[in-house]
Amino acid sequence: MMLCASSAVQQACGPAAAAATAVLARTLTVMAWGRNAEGACGVETGPIVPRPTVLLDLHGRSDIAAVRAGKLSSAAVTRGGEALTWGCGKLAKLGHGNDEAVHAPARVESLVGRAEVSALALGDQHTLFLDRSGGVWAVGCTLEGQCGLGQPIEELARQHRRALYGPVQLEALLRAGRPATPSGRHEAFLRAFADAHEWTGGRGGGGGPAGGTVRRGAAGARAALAAALFGGGGGGGGGGGGSRIGQFAAAAGGGGGGGASDGQLGITPSGIWGIDLGRHLSETGLQPGVVTTPTRVERPRFDAAWGLSGAADGGSGGPAAAQEQAPGLEAERVVGVDCSKYFSIAVTDSGQIWTWGASYTGALAQREVSWATAATPISGPIADAVKAEGGAVAVAAAGNGAACLTASGKVIAFGGLCSPLPQPRGAHHPTPAARDAAACAARDGFAFVPLANPAKSIAAGQQHLLISDGERVFAIGRWMDAEGREAGSAPFHAPAELLHLPAEGVAKVVAGPHSSGVVSGDGRLFLGGRLLSRDHAESLLQKHGVSLWEDIDWDWPGFGGASLAAVPGVAGVVDAALGGWHAIVLTQ
């Protein structure tokens, strides 16, 4: 392709080439403000960023396609298919293989060469990556099945048991006989951990003893320790291998691992000898129930990953074998994803919706199912309703429910988003139509949100859903003001109009857990709800030993408000994202 620089050459090449040159020459700027204690704003200025500040690591780049925000983290996707993440890294949710906070945009190296990322979604505890071939990748916490690995319930129970009760038993065993010398304490710790693993019902793994048997001696204790951490039984002891032995087994919570590469592990338990065991283990990717490397969401392979081949050994047996034959999400082309704290949702190019994880409010939209560890298509009346409207084209995950936008422009809410709201004191009794709508939603588990015009975009927060028809913005659920107080509410059958832009129109709506945002057709940003309050900022600065700056304008609309208002000083917005206490925008 020939790039035309001068106006004369552009005239010779034609208007198409001139337009292409203008696009290539365009520079994009990423700005952020709000809470920055974990690095979510991507700038090194302190615990908070009080005004829109340019991310120097991304300044002047023309390849940023989109930005996203989680509760305490942020991300960007490039046109070349790379994913950049930064902010809070707990539970390895950023995809960098550890739980460290990242204070500047960092490429997810483990996806380079494996997947070209086109979109992503940041949950409180996990992250979903969507590649250009329609595949979904997950990383982070999967104790509720939100990463879609398909763990059997038995495996999730073991992970919870190890995470909750194992350390208690370990501490009790150590306190019962604490040696005086450092070497004796180290040996006692290894033995106590092995005993704790045996007490919590470990299973035998490859290369080690079966049935939870624990070998004695330092080598046996180290092998049992490694096996317990990797989620299986006795691991293959001895001989060398480095700190990443059995990483996938550790991420999935299954299978044994190899031995240590030297004779000392150097681990001491948290709160007993002053070293944080959890951090030490997480740095090597050993926490049960945490996926440290982005893993493809596919159909579950129970026998291969967890050794649950039959009912005789306490496994899943027949149901696992039957589910293994069912086609998974890898057979579909996914075009959109979103995630909440405990569940995930995806939409395919055929308009089908898939969900996985845990939700006790009906957000999974599966018949009599509140917990699905593998990606499963929605079923029942809601699946029929979505199909009748031409299929879904977009999905949104709230804290207590979910919603989809159909090809016909209808919005369907399910889970907590279509639950009746408590009536305030002195409110009028609901009309018969409202009572009928609530009864239908309770019976079917979903409801259509009535709109005069077809909807074009949706976004969900913790307890609210934003809907735009391209000119107006509506909301259902509950939303807040700048101080975190309830600013308004609306049931699903009577959405409230929050904003009307008849001239420039609405390009898209975005939502944080307790905030709402609108990008207008002319590149302005409107923001409402609670983004960063003065009380939260003061407590955060006090925690970090920093005095509150006096020149902060807390009435600035960029911190939120009771209603949507234009944010001054922010123009040319191409994309925007709202986190728990921070905002990030892409401007040109």
3-state SS record for 43-112? CCCCCEEEEEEECHHHCCCCCEEEEEECCCEEEEEECCCCEEEEECCHHHCCCCCCCCCEEEEEECHHHC
DSSP 424: P
Has residue 561 got a pLDDT over 70?
yes
What number is the average pLDDT over the span 104-111?
A: 98
Note whether residue 388 is domain-resident: no
Domain that holds residue 170: 155-294
Note whether residue 447 is domain-resident: no
Type of residue numbered 38: E
Q: Which of 33-37, 250-254, 466-470, 476-480 shows the lowest per-residue confidence on average (mean pLDDT)?
A: 250-254
Band the pLDDT of 171: cuts 50, 70, 90: low
Q: pLDDT tens across 59-107, in order?
A: 888 999 999 999 999 999 999 999 999 999 999 999 999 999 999 999 9
Has residue 499 got a pLDDT over 90?
yes
Report the range out of 35-49, 191-205, 519-533 with the highest average pLDDT: 519-533
Note whether residue 495 is domain-resident: no
CA atoms 530, 534, 535, 539: torsion sign: positive
Q: Could you tell me which residue, 87 or 27, shows the higher pLDDT?
A: 87
Q: Which of 11-15, 177-181, 287-291, 580-584 shows the lowest per-residue confidence on average (mean pLDDT)?
A: 11-15
Q: pLDDT tens across 378-414, in order?
A: 999 999 999 999 999 999 999 989 999 999 999 999 9
What number is the average pLDDT over the span 414-424?
A: 79
Q: Which of 139-153, 260-274, 505-519 shows the lowest per-residue confidence on average (mean pLDDT)?
A: 260-274
Q: What is the dihedral of CA 446, 452, 454, 455, to 10 degrees?
A: -60
Summary count for the chain: helices (H), strands (E): 13, 29
The C-alpha atoms of residue 302 and residue 564 are separated, in whole angstroms, by: 48
Q: pLDDT tens across 312-364, in order?
A: 333 444 444 444 456 799 999 999 999 999 999 999 999 999 999 999 899 99
How far lies 101's CA from each of 49, 74, 96, 277, in Å? 17, 11, 10, 18
303 Cα distance to chain centroid: 27
Identify each DSSP E strand in 279-420 by its residue range: 290-296, 334-339, 343-348, 353-358, 371-377, 392-397, 401-406, 411-415
Band the pLDDT of 422: cuts 50, 70, 90: low
For 452, the token pair is 């005069």
Q: What is the pTM of this model?
A: 0.76
- Token match 């992250």: residue? 127
Query: Contact 281/250 with Cβ under 8 angstroms?
Result: no
Report the range out of 191-200, 230-239, 325-334, 349-358 with the highest average pLDDT: 349-358
**Among 360, 468, 475, 365, which residue's Cα sits nearest to residue 409?**
468
Note whether residue 12 is domain-resident: no
Note whether residue 527 is domain-resident: no
What pLDDT is recorded for position 152? 79
What pLDDT is recorded for position 548? 74
Q: Which of 19-33, 247-261, 375-389, 472-486 shows the lowest per-residue confidence on average (mean pLDDT)?
A: 247-261
- For 425, counting Cβ atoms within 10 Å of its Cβ (0-12 exposed, 13-18 middle, 19+ buried), the class is exposed
The C-alpha atoms of residue 222 and residue 307 are separated, in whole angstroms, by: 22
Q: In what order do the strands lie in the sheet with 48-54?
A: 48-54, 29-35, 582-587, 573-578
**Among 464, 350, 352, which residue's Cα sits nearest to residue 413?**
464
Q: Could you tell me which residue, 176 or 157, shows the higher pLDDT?
A: 157
- Token match 């986190």: residue? 579
- Report the number of distinct structural domains present in the chain: 1
The C-alpha atoms of residue 232 and residue 254 are separated, in whole angstroms, by: 5
Note whether residue 127 is domain-resident: no
Q: In three state form, how does the secondary structure of 524-553 look?
A: CEEEEEECCCHHHHHHHHHHCCCCCCCCCC
Note whether residue 324 is domain-resident: no
Q: Could you tell me which residue, 287 or 580, shows the higher pLDDT?
A: 580
The C-alpha atoms of residue 36 and residue 87 are separated, in whole angstroms, by: 8
Note whether residue 5 is domain-resident: no
The C-alpha atoms of residue 30 and residue 55 are separated, in whole angstroms, by: 6
